[in-house]
């Protein structure tokens, strides 16, 4: 598949020396914490554990409810952010959950602090989460447009948690990854990453209470997401791996389209 680079927003240039200094400083601050060493050790243990296998990333768009999750019983799955809001509608449970946005983590901390599902969380939010055996904190490099082949040192947050899940999938060795529920289309409009207050009902996610009743959240950056998706696509392709879009509908055309049944078969 040929990526149309013209429709992908270019990232602003950053002084490489300042960028390197900032990354080293942030990493040193994190390395002084016990949670950093525990998380790094756990990440190294799962490096390439699922080499050659398939995984599915469950994004949080309304179309997620159109996917047949019963097909995923024998497949490794990455849930994102507040995927637990799906649990009262389905007996499906993801293999792990990834969350890096501070607002999503703070709002979902009560669930994260009691679940036994493996969690990959932003290291900046470690004060909200009790360190347990099922917790891995990820050191985030926000300012660099890159893709982590090994997540034990750092990951790149990009413009969406889906990009982080892609890096983890690569780290764990998955050869083929499919997205479902990635509508890549939002009714909410405004400046990308702007922090806004939600209304009573959320129409942009699979659950009307996802961001609702005055909760704060950050508006999506669709162009930024496509920029980072293109990086993920190129890295997977270079290493003879692939990313597919198995979403029912939606507006993301960057990855080859397949049905979920076709991908799993």
Residue 165 CA to residue 163 CA, distance in Å, equals 5
The pLDDT score that the predictor gives to residue 20 is: 60
The 3-state DSSP class for residue 244 equals strand
d(CA 102, CA 84): 17
Domain boundaries, the chain: 12-264
Burial of 91 (0-12, 13-18, 19+ CB in 10 A): exposed
What phi-psi label fits residue 156: left (phi over 0), alpha (psi between -120 and 50 degrees) or beta?
Answer: beta
pLDDT on residue 8: 37
Q: What is the pLDDT of residue 16?
A: 61
Query: Helix 16-31 and helix 34-45: axis angle, to 10°?
Result: 100
Q: Give the count of beta carbons closer than 10 Å to the beta carbon of residue 56.
A: 28
Among 152, 177, 184, residue whose Cα is nearest residue 232: 177
Q: Which CATH architecture has domain 12-264?
A: Alpha-Beta Complex (3.90)
For each of the chain's 265 residues, which pLDDT tens digit applies?
A: 333 433 334 444 556 666 666 666 666 667 778 888 899 999 999 999 999 999 999 999 999 999 999 999 999 999 999 999 999 989 999 999 999 999 999 999 999 999 999 999 999 888 889 889 999 999 987 667 899 999 998 999 889 999 999 999 999 999 999 999 999 999 998 999 899 999 989 999 999 999 999 999 999 999 999 999 999 999 999 999 999 999 999 999 999 999 999 999 9
- Under DSSP, is residue 226 helix (H, G, I), strand (E, B) or coil? helix
Retrieve residue 192's tokens: 């990308």
At 23 the pLDDT is 63
Q: Strands 216-218, 195-197: parallel, antiparallel or unpaired by DSSP? A: antiparallel
Report the alpha-carbon distance of residue 72 to residue 234 in Å, rounded: 26
Question: Rounded to the nearest 10 degrees, what angle do helices 161-171 and 222-238 cross at?
Answer: 10
The whole-number pLDDT of residue 1 equals 39
- At 9 the pLDDT is 40
d(CA 233, CA 166): 9
Phi and psi, residue 195, nearest 5°? -85, 120
């Amino acid at each position: 598949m040929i990526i149309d680079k013209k429709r992908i927003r270019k990232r602003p240039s950053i002084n490489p020396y300042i960028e390197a200094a900032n990354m080293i400083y942030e990493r040193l601050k994190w390395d002084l914490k016990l949670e950093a060493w525990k998380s790094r050790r756990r990440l190294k243990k799962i490096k390439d554990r699922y080499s050659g296998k398939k995984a599915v990333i469950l994004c949080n768009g309304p179309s997620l409810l159109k996917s047949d999750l019963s097909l995923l019983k024998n497949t490794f799955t990455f849930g994102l952010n507040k995927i637990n809001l799906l649990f009262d509608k389905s007996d499906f449970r993801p293999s792990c959950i990834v969350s890096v946005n501070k607002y999503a983590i703070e709002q979902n901390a009560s669930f994260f602090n009691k679940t036994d599902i493996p969690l990959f969380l932003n290291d900046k939010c470690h004060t909200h989460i009790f360190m347990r055996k099922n917790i891995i904190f990820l050191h985030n490099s926000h300012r660099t447009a890159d893709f982590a082949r090994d997540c034990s040192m750092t990951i790149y947050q990009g413009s969406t948690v889906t990009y982080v899940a892609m890096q983890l999938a690569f780290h764990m060795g998955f050869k083929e990854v499919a997205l479902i529920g990635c509508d890549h289309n939002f009714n909410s409009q405004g400046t990308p990453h702007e922090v806004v207050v939600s209304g009573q009902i959320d129409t942009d996610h699979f659950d009307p209470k996802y961001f609702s009743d005055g909760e704060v959240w950050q508006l999506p950056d669709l162009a930024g997401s496509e920029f980072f998706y293109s990086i993920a696509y190129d890295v997977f392709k270079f290493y003879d791996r692939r990313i597919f879009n198995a979403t029912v509908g939606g507006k993301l055309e960057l990855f080859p389209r397949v049905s979920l049944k076709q991908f799993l078969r």
